[in-house]
């Protein structure tokens, strides 16, 4: 199983969500709500490390570190460099879940771009000692 739920379970959930929204008055439920439920099922099916939080949830630097898989000091440094926005100040800084999602997505995009750039520089003629420059 790749995700938090198996494909068959995801299909059952999609059917149940679809049935629920058909039974409700369509004018009372925004399309964005329906789409969010389907997106949640997609994420549960494709990712085993799913954490669902309201976007306005505020977290401590330690909670943010745990979620990002880094140390608390790394989160503090990210804040000090302006890479993570916080609410509050001083020693009681809080980071919104939506800000952590933004940082995680931008960080992943930077890593992918760097890997792509590295892959473009390597071909069959590249000597092994030049593939990864160390110092």
Nearest to 9 by CA among 51, 31, 48, 41: 41
Whether the Cβ atoms of residue 22 and residue 56 lie closer than 8 Å to each other: no
pLDDT score, position 130: 64
> What distance in Å separates the CA atoms of residue 119 and residue 126, rounded to the nearest whole number?
11
Predicted TM-score of the model (pTM): 0.62
Nearest to 52 by CA among 2, 97, 104, 107: 97
| Range scoring the smallest mean pLDDT among 36-45, 74-83, 88-97, 120-129 | 120-129
pLDDT score, position 66: 92
| Range scoring the smallest mean pLDDT among 13-27, 73-87, 120-134 | 120-134
């Amino acid at each position: 199983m790749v995700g938090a739920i198996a494909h068959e379970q995801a299909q059952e959930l999609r059917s149940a969500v679809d049935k629920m929204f058909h039974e409700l008055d369509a004018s009372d439920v925004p399309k964005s709500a329906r789409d969010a439920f389907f997106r949640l099922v997609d994420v549960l099916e494709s990712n085993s490390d799913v954490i669902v939080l309201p976007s306005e949830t505020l977290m401590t630097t330690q909670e943010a570190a745990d979620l990002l898989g880094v140390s608390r000091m790394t989160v503090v440094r990210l804040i000090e460099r302006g890479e993570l926005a916080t609410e509050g100040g001083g020693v009681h800084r809080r980071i919104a879940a939506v800000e952590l999602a933004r940082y995680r997505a931008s960080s992943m995009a930077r890593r992918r771009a760097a890997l792509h750039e590295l892959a473009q520089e390597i071909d069959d003629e590249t000597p092994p000692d030049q593939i990864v420059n160390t110092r």
